[in-house]
C-alpha cells in the first residue's frame, strides 16, 4: 500500500512537472513582443504607420502650447485644463503638463522612427522601392519631430537608436546646430528615398513634402541662402503639381481634403479614428447643424480678430462671431466669436478632418520671407501677393513695391499675413520668435471684445527674451539629473 502511495505521488509530481512550461512560460496570445516583430515587409509597413500615428495623436493638442502662448488664442473659463492658464499667461513653468506631454510624445515618435530605421534591413521580402520608401518616411518623420523639438526647446538629446534606461540616464543635450544638421541630413536622405506624392498619399511623407520641409528648416535656421535655393528648387521641380485653392474656405472642408495645396497632412476618420481639435474651439453648447456639443477650450483673441478685414474671405474660416448653438434651430444668433477654422460637421471629439502639417500657402510665404531676407524685395512681394490675391479674391489688396519699401516693413506685413493665413496652425509663436518680434508683440494681448462698448479686455503679459525657448520639462530633468539635462536659461 505504501508503494501505491509513493507511485501516486511520483506520478502526480511527474505529471505536473511536465507542464512547467505550460504554466510558467506562457506566451502572450494577443500581442506580439519586441522579439518577434519587424520580421517582414508587412511588419515594416505597420511600423511606419505607427510613426504617423504618434503625430496623429500629438498634432490636435499642439495648439495648447503653441497657440495659447501666442496672441491668437486665449483660454476659455468654460473648461479647466491643467497647464493652460499658465501658458495663456505666458508664465510657463518646467512642470507644465502640456509642455511635458509635447516633449514625451515627440520622443515617442522618434523612438518609433528609430525602430524602423534600425530594423530596415531585417525583412528580406520587400521590393527595393518599398524599402526606400519606408526608410524615407521614417527619416522624414524623425526630422519633423526633431524640428518641432529644436524650435521649442533648442538643444535637445539627439537620439538615433533605441536607448536602454541606463543609457538614457546619461544622455545629454546636443547643440542646436547638431540637431539641425541631423534634421537636414535626414531630410536629404528622405528626398532621395521617397517617391512623389502622386505615387503615395497626402497622409504619408513624399519627396515634395521632404523638400519643402527642408526649405522650412533652413528658414527656421535663418540660413536664408539655402532656404531660397531649396524652396526655389521646390517650385521649379514641383510648382506645377501644386496650386493655391481658389476659395480659402474650401481648404477646410471634408470634401476637399485632397486639395491641390496640401503637401502633407495627418489623416483622420470621423467617429472611428477622429481628432478632437474640431471640437476644441466649439462653444460649450455645440453649433447648430455641425456638432452637438463643444469643448470650448480656447477662444480667438481680439488681437487676431481685429486684424482680419471684413472683406477678407479668410475671416469666416478663422473667427466666426455669430453663434448658433446646437439647439438654436439656426435662429437668433448670439455674438460669441469662436475659432472656426477646423469646425466641420463632425462627431464630437472624433472629427474626420485632416490636419495639415505642410501646405502650399505656408511654403509660398516661407519663400517670400527668404527672398526678402536675401534682398529680393520685389520677388518677395510677388510671392506674398499670391496669398493676398487668393484671400481677397482680387488684386485690390495686393501690396505694391511702394507700400513695402523696406525689408523691415515687409517682415511686418509678412508676419501679419502669416498670422491670418496660418491662424491656429501652430506657426505664429515660431514666426514671432524667428523674427525677434515675440517680446514686443506679446506685451499686451486683447481678448473678449464687446461690440456694444467697442472695448476689448487688455491683458498685460511679461514676455522676456529667454522665453524664446520653452523650459525643459522638470520631470525629465529630475530623472537624469540637472548636470545631464541642463535647464534653459531663465527658468
Between residue 302 and residue 331, which ones bind other proteins under the rule CB under 8 A?
A: 325-328
The region of 91-99, 126-134, 408-416, 431-439 touching other proteins under the rule CB under 8 A is 91-99
The span from the CA of 87 to the CA of 84, in Å, is 5
Q: Which of 14, 165, 310, 440 binds other proteins (CB under 8 A)?
A: 165
For the segment 341-360, give every residue that binds other proteins (CB under 8 A): 347-348, 350, 352
Q: In Å, how far are 29, 70, 411, 412, 440 from 464, measured between CA atoms?
A: 55, 13, 21, 20, 9
- Binding to other proteins (CB under 8 A) within 97-126 occurs at 97, 103-104, 107-108, 110-112, 114-115
3-state secondary structure of 131: helix
Give min distance, CB of 340 to other proteins, in A. 17
In the list 129, 198, 237, 450, the residue contacting other proteins (rule: CB under 8 A) is 450
Q: Does 257 bind other proteins (CB under 8 A)?
A: yes
Q: Which residues of 146-157 are buried (b: 16+ CB within 10 A; e: fewer)?
A: bbbbbbbbbbbb
The kind and range of the H/E element at 378 are helix 377-392
171, 194, 355 from 187: Cα distances, Å: 24, 10, 21
Nearer to other proteins, 158 or 434 (CB): 158
Cα-Cα-Cα-Cα torsion 431, 437, 439, 441, nearest 10 degrees, comes to: -90
CB atoms within 10 A of CB 190: 29
Residues that contact other proteins, how many (by CB under 8 A): 103
Let me know: does 485 contact 476? Beta carbons within 8 Å. yes
Taking CB under 8 A as the binding criterion, the range among 9-17, 62-70, 233-241, 363-371 that sits at the site for other proteins is 9-17
CB of 69 to other proteins, least distance (A): 15
Which of 7, 11, 12, 309 binds other proteins (CB under 8 A)? It is 12
Nearer CB in complex with other proteins: 85/375: 85
Cα separation, 344 vs 278, in Å, equals 7
Q: Given candidates 7, 16, 246, 482, which one binds other proteins under the rule CB under 8 A?
A: 16
Indicate the DSSP class of residue 175.
Answer: P
Least CB distance to other proteins at residue 218 (A): 26
Q: Which is nearer to other proteins, 38 or 367 (CB)?
A: 38
Instruction: List C-alpha distances in Å: 152 to 23, 100, 137, 220, 440.
Output: 50, 12, 23, 11, 19
Binding segment for other proteins (CB under 8 A), chosen from 79-87, 130-138, 372-380, 394-402, is: 79-87
Question: What is the Cβ-side half-sphere exposure of residue 69, based on CA atoms within 13 angstroms?
Answer: 32
- Least distance from other proteins to the Cβ atom of residue 479, Å: 5
Q: From the list 11, 91, 401, 444, which residue makes contact with other proteins (rule: CB under 8 A)? A: 91
Give the separation between CA 96 and CA 84, rounded to whole angstroms: 8
Listed ranges 33-41, 241-249, 419-427, 436-444: which one lies at the site for other proteins (CB under 8 A): 33-41
Q: Find the part of the chain contacting other proteins (CB under 8 A) among 127-135, 278-286, 382-390, 403-411.
A: 278-286
Stretch that binds other proteins, among 64-72, 131-139, 418-426, 475-483 (CB under 8 A): 475-483
Among 7, 10, 93, 406, binds other proteins (CB under 8 A): 93
Contact present, 428 and 414 (Cβ < 8 Å): no
Orientation angle between helical segments 377-392 and 360-373, nearest 10 degrees: 150
Please identify which residue in 18, 30, 460, 483 interacts with other proteins, judged by CB under 8 A.
30
Residue 157 touches other proteins, criterion: CB under 8 A: yes
Could you say which residues in the range 36-55 bind other proteins, by CB under 8 A? 37, 43, 46-53
* All cell numbers assigned to 386: 499670391
Encoded one letter per residue, x for contact with other proteins by CB under 8 A and - for no contact, window 367-406 reads ----------------------------------------
- DSSP code for 308: S
Work out how close the CB of 50 gets to other proteins at its nearest, in angstroms, rounded to a whole number: 4
Which residue matches cell numbers 515627440?
Answer: 106
> Which range, of 127-135, 161-169, 378-386, 388-396, touches other proteins by CB under 8 A?
161-169
Footprint of other proteins on 203-242 (CB under 8 A): 203-204
Given a contact cutoff of 8 angstroms between Cβ atoms, the answer to whether 366 and 227 are in contact is: yes
Could you give the CA distance from residue 473 to residue 464 in angstroms, rounded to a whole number? 19
Q: How far, in Å, CA of 164 to CA of 258, rounded?
A: 41
Q: Which of 14, 18, 24, 396 binds other proteins (CB under 8 A)?
A: 24
Which of 7, 85, 309, 311 touches other proteins (CB under 8 A)?
85
Q: How far is the CB of 34 from other proteins (least distance, A)?
A: 4
Query: In this chain, which of 267, 313, 374, 437 binds other proteins, going by CB under 8 A?
Result: 267
- What are the residues whose beta carbons fall under 8 Å from the beta carbon of 22, sequence distance 6 or more? none
Cα→Cα distances 423→181, 417, 428, Å = 29, 10, 7
Q: What is the DSSP letter of 470?
A: P
Contact 421, 365 (CB under 8 A): yes
Amino acid at each position: 500500500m505504501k508503494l501505491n502511495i509513493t507511485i501516486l505521488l511520483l506520478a502526480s509530481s511527474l505529471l505536473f512537472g511536465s507542464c512547467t512550461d505550460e504554466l510558467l512560460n506562457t506566451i502572450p496570445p494577443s500581442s506580439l513582443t519586441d522579439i518577434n516583430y519587424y520580421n517582414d515587409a508587412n511588419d515594416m509597413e505597420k511600423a511606419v504607420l505607427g510613426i504617423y500615428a504618434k503625430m496623429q495623436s500629438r498634432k490636435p493638442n499642439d495648439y495648447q502650447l503653441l497657440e495659447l502662448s501666442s496672441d491668437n488664442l486665449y483660454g476659455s473659463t468654460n473648461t479647466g485644463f491643467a497647464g493652460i492658464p499658465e501658458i495663456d499667461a505666458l508664465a510657463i513653468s518646467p512642470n507644465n503638463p502640456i509642455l511635458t506631454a509635447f516633449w514625451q510624445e515627440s520622443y515617442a515618435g522618434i523612438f518609433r522612427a528609430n525602430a524602423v530605421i534600425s530594423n530596415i534591413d531585417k525583412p528580406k521580402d520587400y521590393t527595393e522601392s518599398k524599402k526606400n520608401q519606408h526608410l524615407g518616411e521614417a527619416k522624414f518623420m524623425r526630422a519633423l519631430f526633431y524640428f518641432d523639438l529644436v524650435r521649442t526647446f533648442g538643444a535637445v538629446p539627439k537620439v538615433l537608436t533605441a536607448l536602454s534606461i541606463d543609457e538614457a540616464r546619461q544622455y545629454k543635450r546636443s547643440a542646436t546646430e547638431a540637431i539641425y544638421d541631423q534634421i537636414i541630413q535626414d531630410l536629404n536622405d528622405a528626398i532621395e528615398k521617397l517617391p512623389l506624392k502622386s505615387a503615395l498619399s497626402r497622409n504619408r511623407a513624399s519627396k515634395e513634402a521632404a523638400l519643402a520641409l527642408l526649405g522650412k528648416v533652413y528658414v527656421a535656421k535663418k540660413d536664408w541662402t539655402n532656404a531660397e535655393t531649396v524652396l526655389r528648387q521646390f517650385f521649379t521641380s514641383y510648382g506645377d503639381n501644386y496650386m493655391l485653392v481658389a476659395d480659402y474656405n474650401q481648404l477646410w472642408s471634408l470634401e476637399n481634403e485632397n486639395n491641390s495645396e496640401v503637401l502633407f497632412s495627418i489623416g483622420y476618420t470621423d467617429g472611428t479614428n477622429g481628432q478632437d481639435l474640431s471640437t476644441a474651439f466649439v462653444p460649450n453648447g455645440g453649433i447648430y447643424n455641425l456638432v452637438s456639443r463643444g469643448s470650448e477650450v480656447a477662444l480667438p483673441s481680439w488681437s487676431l480678430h481685429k486684424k482680419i478685414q471684413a472683406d477678407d474671405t479668410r475671416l469666416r474660416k478663422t473667427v466666426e462671431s455669430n453663434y448658433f448653438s446646437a439647439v438654436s434651430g439656426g435662429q437668433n444668433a448670439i455674438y460669441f466669436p469662436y475659432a472656426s477654422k477646423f469646425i466641420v460637421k463632425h462627431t464630437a471629439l472624433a472629427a474626420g478632418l485632416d490636419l495639415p502639417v505642410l501646405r502650399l500657402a505656408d511654403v509660398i510665404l516661407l519663400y517670400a520671407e527668404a527672398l526678402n531676407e536675401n534682398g529680393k524685395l520685389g520677388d518677395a512681394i510677388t510671392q506674398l501677393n499670391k496669398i493676398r490675391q487668393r484671400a481677397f479674391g482680387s488684386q485690390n489688396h495686393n501690396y505694391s513695391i511702394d507700400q513695402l519699401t523696406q525689408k523691415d516693413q515687409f517682415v511686418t506685413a509678412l508676419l501679419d499675413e502669416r498670422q491670418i493665413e496660418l491662424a491656429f496652425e501652430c506657426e505664429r509663436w515660431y514666426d514671432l520668435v524667428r523674427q525677434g518680434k515675440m517680446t514686443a508683440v506679446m506685451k499686451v494681448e486683447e481678448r473678449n471684445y464687446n461690440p456694444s462698448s467697442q472695448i476689448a479686455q487688455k491683458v498685460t503679459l511679461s514676455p522676456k527674451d529667454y522665453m524664446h525657448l520653452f523650459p525643459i520639462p522638470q520631470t525629465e530633468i529630475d530623472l537624469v539629473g540637472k548636470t545631464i539635462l541642463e535647464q534653459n536659461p531663465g527658468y
